[in-house]
Structure 1
Amino acid sequence: MTGGSGGIGSAVARRLAAEGAAVVVHYGGSAERAAELVEEITAKGGVAVAAGGDVAEEGDMAAVFGLAEERFGGLDVVVNTAGIMLLAPLVDLDLADFDRMHRANVRGTFVVSQLAARRLRKGGALVNFSTSVTRMAPPTYSAYAATKGAVEAMTLILARELRGRDVTVNAVAPGPTATALFLDGKTDQQLAQLAAAPPLERLGTPDDIAETVAYLAGPGRWVNGQVVYVNGGIA
């Protein structure tokens, strides 16, 4: 799985490992966090290995996929949580920031999806990551939401292109989720307002997102070509 050392990614890795999956924890920048997660999973009896690389570089990701096949005999699930979010009003956003997001979120998802489509075994699953802000449309999110709109489009089309392969392709679209990155810099008042927005009146947790990913990666075989909004009903 890509982005495995992040807040949501690490929760997904723990959950899949707890379900008995052997997990390759991909990281883009934090080798230390990935190593700690692998140690945590293995200490609990799970199987995990860390692998680094640029998610937007085909060679790097082919090496990660190759490691998974070499160590574990094949690929059954690919979860693509890697991505970046840089926020500003559209009129003010630096185009260099737009290009960085496009490279990580769009090209990165394309590279990983292409490799997954070529290598996933029968009965496999690809889970990409979008965002609920494509529906919520809050100010300052235009460029980020645009990259995730592209993720949704390629996810839905790839599901149809894999007809006959018995491989599902879906996207998970989280709402506000209480990761360290999300909480950083927000006041208590801002967090209270965000928590009050969903009908369930709380922020999501990484474990909430991991629960949905585990379903799509395992028993949810009749869910295919969908964007699943995991946000407590906020949008």
Structure 2
Amino acid sequence: MTIRVVVADDEPLVRAGLRMVLRPAADIEVVAEAGDGREALDAVAAYRPDVALIDIRMPCMDGLGVLRELKRRNLAVAAVMLTTFDLDDYLHTALAEGAVGFLLKDTPPRKLADAVRAAAAGEAMLSPAVTRRLVDAYIRQPPAAARAATGRLSALTARERTVAAEVARGRSNAQIARALGITETSVKAHVSRILTKLGLENRVQVALLVRDAGD
């Protein structure tokens, strides 16, 4: 199945570069481009892509605003944020608003295609620099926040806690299935129940909660 992608960035050369990087991937098709946040929303509504690559800083509406509006309009798309600014405020806000990935614009071409595939599969893709910042944030996490996260995770069964911990390690459904000796279908079912019980939207948010709890 071809993964349909919308690319949103206010720089035409960046959009052209992203399209060129993704063109060799036979399973990925860029179906539309957008030069600002409003155009990004219109493109997602019109083309219903599987994945949207969204720049954090754009005119009319920035990437964070696009995420909020996508949620408000109930437009289902896996949003991967692109930026040259690996700032904590952007990172945490974007993930809290439902982004499934956060990549710096210097991400190698192959990693960009992998990120699109991971996002389309409902998995997470973070640049190494972003992962380091998440770890640093966990180390600085105040005790009260850790207790609150632990309390939320207590709603999960032992098996669901194990699956959630594997998700926090960045493992795919296939990798989790192999590690636990169960089927991918079972892993998907566990992840779905975890999201429902915790009131979360995606695997990245599960990973953040697990790390907050110190698991």
TM bracket, shorter-chain basis: 0.3 to 0.5
In the superposition, the TM-score normalised over structure 1's length comes to 0.33
In the superposition, the TM-score normalised over structure 2's length comes to 0.36
Higher fraction of helix = 2
Higher relative contact order (CA 8 A, sep 6+): 1
